[in-house]
Every structure is written in structure tokens, then in C-alpha cells.
Amino acid sequence: MNLEHMLKEVLVSEGAVCRFMEPMSSHTTFRIGGPAEAYVCPGNEDELGKVICMCREHDIPWNVLGNGSNLLVSDRGIKGVVIAMEGNWCYAGAEGSVIRAGAGELLGRVARVALDHCLTGMEFAAGIPGSVGGALVMNAGAYGSEIKNILKSARVMTNEGEVLELSVDELELGYRTSCIPHRGYTVLEASFQLEPGDQEAIEARMKELAARRREKQPLEYPSAGSTFKRPQGHFAAALIDQCGLKGLTVGGAQVSEKHAGFVINRGGATCADVLALVDQVRERVLRETGVTLEREVRLLG
């Protein structure tokens, strides 16, 4: 039985999605990437477990996709199955001072739920263009805070289809890292522990951070956010700027003239363009400063 038939036998619930040769440029904030062999969204946990077990048993590669905001997909596309956490995986609600949110829900929407319920602690995440699941995988952070500071627990699925409830410590959250990808977990849901606060103050802080983002970041162009991790004792953007690399261009990819830490898609950029530009930046920064930059953006395919 081929992949198409196997998936269509499994994905039968309302809300399930199953498409083939789906262009990944439509599903990443970089607007770059070739087609996924199969692009699926399971309608529930049972279907998710069946898809993962099917892939494992038949040696079919699979990858889990959130909002595609920290992702660069190969121009050749992705072999196997892309599991998209969309549709039924997008929800958020408050229970007292705890917010439960599905893996596919956008952080900005979760922050809005917190605002609506006068809960503080999530203001820093309001402008991060990622999903809850992706934020846990990389312990997303901004403006002096990060996910591990507000996370209470998470429900994940193992590669064997078992559902686990894990504490913050068990997730091993560090700087832009966690144990989730290394152990093959798929995030299902997260619970955030917030604190009661003043709604006007929360909204004011969110507006302040949004204004700072608009002023300093190239939000008018497709990108994958910060291209490089922060080197110990340095700031990637400052090093790149110091080396005179703002505006450096390869094909449609460019080091942003507004914020040197961002590689942007000026129009028609390919994955090859971005990787060539990243290599040039890393080589120049290493040669002139002695600092090795590590790519933060995940390459897929």
C-alpha cells in the first residue's frame, strides 16, 4: 500500500487534512521551500498517534510543523510526511491563573487570552510569530524573558504514541533548546502559570514591545526571525554590523539593513540563497572577530 492510501485510511475525522506535494513556501514565514511529499493535519490525538506509528513502522520520515516561523525548507522540498499542528490543535483558554493552549495556537493569541483575563507574565511573547509547540521546542524568548519562566507543564506524545505529562524540569529547557526534539516528542498542549495583573498595564506593556519590534525589526519582509543564536558574551547582530555586512545580498536573500541579525527574503529568495548568505556572514564574522555564529533557524529537507 502506498503512502497516499495509508494516510487516507488513517485521517478520517472531521478537521483532518491530507494533501500531497504541498508547497512549503505557503507554510513558512520565510515564504521559501519546495513541496512536502505529504502534508497532513490529524484531527485528534488518536489520529496523530496512528500517523506517527505508521511512519515509524514503514520507515517513512516525518516532521512536525507549527507556524513555520523558525524554519528554512529546502528548495527540493521534504520527503515523507509533514505533520501540521493546525485546525483542532489551535485553542487557548484560562482556568484561574493558568492558560491551557493547544500546540498549534499562536503565541500572540495566547497572550491576548492572558490580556482578556487580566493575567500578566506573557507580554514578552505577544509579538513572537510562533506556535505554542514551536515555542516549547526552542524555549522561545524575547525582552528578558522566555517560555520556561511561565510554563507549568506540557502534554507530549512519544514516537510510540504514548501521551506524557511533563514538568518544566523534565522538558530540560535551556537557551533556545529543550529535550523535545532529541527524545522525539510531539507537543500536544501546554499549561502556562501566570499571575493576576492590571489589564491596562498589561496592554500598555504589549503595545510598548510591539512598537519596539516595529522600530527595530524588518517586519515588512518575510524572514525566520533571528537568524543566529546569541554567542556567549556577544550579540550576533552587533558582530554582523561591526563587519559591515548590513545589506549584503545573495539572490533574493539579504542581511537586513534595519537589523543585522535578520536575513530577509527581499523577493524570490531560495533556500540556496539564504544558506549561501549565511555561510558568507559566518565566515566573515569568524575571520574578523574570532566568534563563531551558530544558525538558530532550523533547516528542513
- Looking at the DSSP bridge assignments, the partners of residue 98 are 95, 193
CA–CA separation, 137 vs 123, rounded Å? Answer: 19
Which residue among the candidates 69, 131, 153, 226 is catalytic per the annotation? 226
Identify whether 189 is a catalytic site residue.
no
Which residue among the candidates 37, 172, 203, 296 is catalytic per the annotation? 296
Identify whether 296 is a catalytic site residue.
yes
Identify whether 223 is a catalytic site residue.
no
Distances (CA, A) of 24 to 77, 154, 249: 7, 27, 23
- Looking at the DSSP bridge assignments, the partners of residue 167 are 153
How many Cβ atoms are within 10 Å of 235's Cβ, its own excluded?
14
CA–CA separation, 286 vs 294, rounded Å? Answer: 11
Residue 231 DSSP code? P
Which residue among the candidates 176, 205, 213, 298 is catalytic per the annotation? 176
CA–CA separation, 293 vs 295, rounded Å? Answer: 7
Question: Would you name the residues annotated as active-site residues?
Answer: 176, 226, 296
